[in-house]
């Protein structure tokens, strides 16, 4: 197996991940970064720096990841390929315990970062050599022509070796969920609980100076907690854990804020959660890049960002015919909310002048998409959602209550039809989900549920818009026959004495 992995990674003819099948229970969509001008029009400020993967391995093993690059996309792209090779080429199997899985994940992240730095070793050495040849404290225009060329080459090398990435990785093995997080991306799990309610769970916390566990970790290395909290950013980034970024890994003693550290303070070691059993769980898993989270928080405040995101996803799952369409619709919805907040000129407009790349990965768990031929509530029961997560630092007043129509329990196992071994089983009509959303925001209130016989009032309409008849009228799609009959029965006597008033 070691030889297979080595040969696979050394192949010059294909990518490490070319032969791995994509997971069909998952979809990803990315929107590029944007800066708004005074006229409200947006322009892209740099190439996309996010990365992702979504693979199905052997032994019912599934691997997903979202990577947020900064100062270029090289690290995110490298990690998205190499991490897969370190996890899905025989390293994981169904006999592994939770302890084994955590060990393999930790080892994989360590190997990947070391491998990345090996790819830039030569550039770092050349960079150090050029720096030793240039005089210190001399401006570019004061340099000799030869030294100016050296300085230009130094700038090119700096671009090659700069940059890093944060990562959130989800692994499903033995029907258990493991989350490995490095940095500021986010994982949300929406699931139905045993008492009939659903929970929105944020798995792990962002590794920033707002995280008290991270402050404690850095303080134990000799850093000043007060300065860390006050500064917020470390070498231009909010993350206290990141992959790559040689400046904070090799030259941290030259950074005043980190210079007192006894050992490397900024690490690529992931915080691992799980395994959490998915047996009987219905719902969905969301992996989000920092850009998507920050865009929604900038538009509406951070307090209810998790709840709002789940509400938006649930609403799209109830309407769209494919997961790809759901992922795209959700990201574009957040993009519109962010732009509208900027264009409004109101309180949060100052927070929304720009957004970074936004990536969303959706993985369904026993949650098939609806059949367009069904009525909204067919195929499931409506459960209210209990949302325990709350960010005490928020100032937003947005509140979202969510109800989901979940598919019948027991029909699917982790998204796989029990009558088929394939993970892309086709949902049956009785498994269609829908959602009812209610919000304290008066402009965001909708419902797609129906009850009783109310659905009989609505005639079936085709997918095409209704066409006017020869009189220019459009045939009504609400049938009031039953209403007229009941109204007429209740008012029969009064109509006979008042000359037949009422509907004719």
User: What pLDDT is stored for residue 411 in this prediction?
Assistant: 36
Which tops the pLDDT comparison, 31 or 495? 31
Task: Render pLDDT for 403-460 as a digit per residue (tens, 0 to 9).
Answer: 444 443 333 334 343 333 344 443 343 333 334 333 333 333 333 333 334 333 334 4
| Count of CA atoms in the C-beta half-sphere (13 A) of 399 | 4
Enter the DSSP assignment of 420: -
User: What pLDDT is stored for residue 262 in this prediction?
Assistant: 95
User: What pLDDT is stored for residue 22 in this prediction?
Assistant: 93
Task: Report how far residue 54's alpha carbon sits from residue 27's, in angstroms, rounded to the nearest whole number.
Answer: 8
Q: What are phi and psi of 43, to 5 degrees?
A: -130, 145
> 175-184, 219-228, 282-291, 372-381: lowest mean pLDDT where?
372-381
pLDDT at 352 over 90: yes
Centre a 10 Å sphere on the Cβ of residue 38 and count the other Cβ atoms it contains: 5
Which residues is 267 bridged to in the sheet? 241
Task: Report how far residue 120's alpha carbon sits from residue 161's, in angstroms, rounded to the nearest whole number.
Answer: 6
Confidence bin at 131 (pLDDT 50/70/90):
confident
Q: Do residues 310 and 208 make contact, with C-beta atoms less than 8 angstroms apart?
A: no
Q: Do residues 163 and 172 make contact, with C-beta atoms less than 8 angstroms apart?
A: no
Q: Is the pTM of this model over 0.75?
A: no
Confidence bin at 489 (pLDDT 50/70/90):
low
Q: Do residues 44 and 85 make contact, with C-beta atoms less than 8 angstroms apart?
A: no
> 198-202, 459-463, 466-470: lowest mean pLDDT where?
459-463
> 148-157, 158-167, 399-408: lowest mean pLDDT where?
399-408
pLDDT at 222 over 60: yes
Residue written as tokens 């088929």? 420
Which residues is 403 bridged to in the sheet? 384, 436
Task: Render pLDDT for 192-214 as a digit per residue (tens, 0 to 9).
Answer: 666 656 689 999 999 999 999 99
Task: Render pLDDT for 39-98 as a digit per residue (tens, 0 to 9).
Answer: 889 999 999 999 999 999 888 899 999 999 999 999 999 999 999 999 998 899 999 999
Mean pLDDT of the chain: 78
Task: Render pLDDT for 367-406 as a digit per residue (tens, 0 to 9).
Answer: 877 764 343 433 333 333 433 333 333 333 333 444 444 4
DSSP string, 202-213: E-S---STT-HH
Confidence bin at 140 (pLDDT 50/70/90):
confident
- Mean of the pLDDT values across residues 310-329? 93
Task: Report how far residue 477's alpha carbon sits from residue 462's, in angstroms, rounded to the nearest whole number.
Answer: 11
Among 438, 420, 439, 436, CA closest to 428: 420
- Mean of the pLDDT values across residues 466-477? 59
Task: Report how far residue 106's alpha carbon sits from residue 98's, in angstroms, rounded to the nearest whole number.
Answer: 12
The C-alpha angle with vertex 87 and arms to 369 and 213, in degrees rounded to 5, equals 85
Instruction: For residue 306, say if its preceding peptide bond is cis, omega within 30 degrees of 0.
Output: no
Residue 16 three-state SS = coil
Judged by phi (left if over 0) then psi (alpha if -120 to 50, else beta), residue 21 lies in beta
pLDDT at 325 over 80: yes
Whole-number percent of the chain with pLDDT over 90 = 54
> 186-190, 272-276, 484-488: lowest mean pLDDT where?
484-488
């Amino acid at each position: 197996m070691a030889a297979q992995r080595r040969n696979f990674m050394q192949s010059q003819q294909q990518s490490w991940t070319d032969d791995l099948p994509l997971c069909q229970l998952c979809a990803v969509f990315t929107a590029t970064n944007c800066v708004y001008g005074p006229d409200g029009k947006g322009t892209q400020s740099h190439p996309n720096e996010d990365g992702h993967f979504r693979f199905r391995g052997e032994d019912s093993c599934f691997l997903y990841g979202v990577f947020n690059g900064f100062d270029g996309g090289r690290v995110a792209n490298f990690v998205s390929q190499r991490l897969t090779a370190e996890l899905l080429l025989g390293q994981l199997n169904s006999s592994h315990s939770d302890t084994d899985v955590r060990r393999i994940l930790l080892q994989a992240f360590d190997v990947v970062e070391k491998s990345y730095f090996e790819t830039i070793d030569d550039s770092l050495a050349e960079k150090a050599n050029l720096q030793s040849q240039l005089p210190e404290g001399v401006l570019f225009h004061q340099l000799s022509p030869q030294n100016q060329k050296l300085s230009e080459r130094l700038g090119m090398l700096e671009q090659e070796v700069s940059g890093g990435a944060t990562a959130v990785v989800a692994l499903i093995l033995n029907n258990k969920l493991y989350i490995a997080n490095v940095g500021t991306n986010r994982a949300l799990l929406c699931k139905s609980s045993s008492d009939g309610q659903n929970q929105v769970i944020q798995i792990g916390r962002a590794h920033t100076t707002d995280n008290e566990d991270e402050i404690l970790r850095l303080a134990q290395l000799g850093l000043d907690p007060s300065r860390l909290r006050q500064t917020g950013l470390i070498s231009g980034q909010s993350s206290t854990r990141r992959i790559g970024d040689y400046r904070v890994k090799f030259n941290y003693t030259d950074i005043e804020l980190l210079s007192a550290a006894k050992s490397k303070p900024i690490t690529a070691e992931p915080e691992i959660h799980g395994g959490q059993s998915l047996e009987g769980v219905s719902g969905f898993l969301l992996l989000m890049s920092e850009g998507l989270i920050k865009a929604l928080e900038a538009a509406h405040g951070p307090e209810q960002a998790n709840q709002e995101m789940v509400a938006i996803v649930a609403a799209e799952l109830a309407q769209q015919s494919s997961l790809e369409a759901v992922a795209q619709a959700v990201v574009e919805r957040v993009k519109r909310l962010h732009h509208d907040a900027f264009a409004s000129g109101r309180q949060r407009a100052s927070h929304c002048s720009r957004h970074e790349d936004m990536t969303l990965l959706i993985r369904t768990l026993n949650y098939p998409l609806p059949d367009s031929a069904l009525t909204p509530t067919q195929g499931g029961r409506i459960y209210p959602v209990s949302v325990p997560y709350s960010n005490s630092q928020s100032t937003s007043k947005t509140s979202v209550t969510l109800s989901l129509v979940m598919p019948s329990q027991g029909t699917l196992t982790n998204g796989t039809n029990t009558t088929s071994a394939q993970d892309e089983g086709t949902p049956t009509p009785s498994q269609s989900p829908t959602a009812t959303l209610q919000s304290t925001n008066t402009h965001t209130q909708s419902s797609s549920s129906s009850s009783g016989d109310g659905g009989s009032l609505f005639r079936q309409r085709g997918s095409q818009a209704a066409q006017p008849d020869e009189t220019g009228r459009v045939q009504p799609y609400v049938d009031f026959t039953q209403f007229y009959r009941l109204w007429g029965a209740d008012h029969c006597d009064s109509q006979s004495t008042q000359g037949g008033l009422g509907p004719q």
